[in-house]
C-alpha cells in the first residue's frame, strides 16, 4: 500500500506539472507515454476526490466544420458513386417527365373537341344572311387566313388565333356563339365564321363596302386583293 501511495503521489505531481506546462505537444506526448505505462483502468483509482482525471479533445479554431444536417443524401447500401449519380439523374428525369405530363393533361382538359362538318358553305351562308355579308367574302377570308381549316388553335406570330385568325382583343369585342353551345370559342369554326361576319358588318360590310371592312380586318392592300380574287373565283 505504501508503494502504491507513493506511485499515486508521483503521478499526481506529474499531472500537476503538465497542467502548468504551456506546450500543447508536450502534454499530448506525455499523455500518450503515460497511457502506455499505466493501464487506463488504474487511472480513476490513482486520482484523488479533488483531482479527477478529465479527458479533453482540443479542436483547432481553423478546422473546417461540415454541417451534415444541411445535406441529406439518400444512401443506398452497396451503391457506388457512379451508380448513385446515375440513380439521381434518372430520378431527376422522372420528375421532369411527370411535370411535363401534368402540363399536357392541363392543356388537353381545357380544349373542347368539336365535330366539324365536312363542308363549311352552309355556315358561311347562314352567317352571311344573319349579318348581311356575302358568304363568298367569308369563305375567301377563311381560305386566305387558314386554308379553310376546321376548328383549330392555330396562332400566328402576331397572336391572331383560330380558323379566322382573330386577335384576342378583337374577339372579346366581336366574338359570337355561332353553334349555340353557350360558348364563344375563338378556336371553333362555327363561332369564328359568325364572328367574322359580325366584325365585317360593324366595319362597313353591311353597305357592301368590303374595301373598308377588309382593311379593318387586315390593313394591307395585298391582303384585300388576295381576298377579293378568291371571292371572285367563287362567283362574287
pLDDT for the residue 90? 83
Looking at the predicted structure, is the pLDDT value of residue 108 above 50?
A: no
Helix ranges restricted to H, the chain: 2-20, 24-37, 43-46, 81-110, 121-131, 135-146, 168-174, 189-202, 210-217, 221-233
Distance CA 222, CA 225 (A): 5
Give the tens place of pLDDT for each residue, 40-66: 444 444 444 444 444 444 455 555 554
Task: Output the furthest CA–CA distance in the chain (Å, rounded).
Answer: 134
Q: Label residue 107 by pLDDT band (50, 70, 90).
A: very low
Give the tens place of pLDDT for each residue, 25-45: 455 555 554 554 445 444 444
Q: Which of 4-8, 92-96, 223-227 has the highest mean pLDDT?
A: 223-227
User: Contact at 8 Å (CB) between 196 and 138?
Assistant: yes
Amino acid at each position: 500500500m505504501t508503494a502504491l501511495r507513493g506511485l499515486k503521489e508521483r503521478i499526481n505531481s506529474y499531472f500537476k506539472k503538465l497542467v502548468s506546462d504551456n506546450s500543447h505537444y508536450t502534454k499530448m506526448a506525455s499523455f500518450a507515454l503515460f497511457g502506455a505505462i499505466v493501464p487506463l483502468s488504474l487511472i480513476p483509482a490513482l486520482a484523488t476526490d479533488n483531482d479527477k482525471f478529465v479527458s479533453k479533445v482540443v479542436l483547432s479554431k481553423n478546422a473546417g466544420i461540415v454541417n451534415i444536417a444541411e445535406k441529406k443524401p439518400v444512401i443506398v447500401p452497396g451503391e457506388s458513386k457512379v451508380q448513385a449519380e446515375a440513380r439521381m439523374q434518372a430520378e431527376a428525369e422522372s420528375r421532369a417527365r411527370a411535370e411535363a405530363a401534368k402540363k399536357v393533361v392541363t392543356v388537353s382538359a381545357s380544349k373542347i373537341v368539336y365535330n366539324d362538318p365536312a363542308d363549311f358553305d352552309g355556315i358561311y351562308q347562314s352567317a352571311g344572311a344573319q349579318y348581311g355579308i356575302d358568304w363568298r367574302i367569308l369563305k375567301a377570308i377563311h381560305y386566305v387566313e387558314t386554308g379553310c381549316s376546321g376548328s383549330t388553335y392555330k396562332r400566328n406570330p402576331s397572336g391572331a388565333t383560330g380558323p379566322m385568325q382573330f386577335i384576342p382583343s378583337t374577339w372579346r369585342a366581336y366574338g359570337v356563339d355561332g353553334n349555340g353551345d353557350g360558348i364563344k370559342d375563338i378556336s371553333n369554326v362555327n363561332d369564328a365564321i359568325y364572328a367574322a361576319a359580325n366584325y365585317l358588318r360593324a366595319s362597313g360590310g353591311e353597305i357592301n363596302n368590303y374595301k373598308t371592312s377588309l382593311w379593318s380586318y387586315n390593313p394591307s392592300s395585298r391582303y384585300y386583293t388576295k381576298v377579293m380574287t378568291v371571292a371572285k373565283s367563287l362567283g362574287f
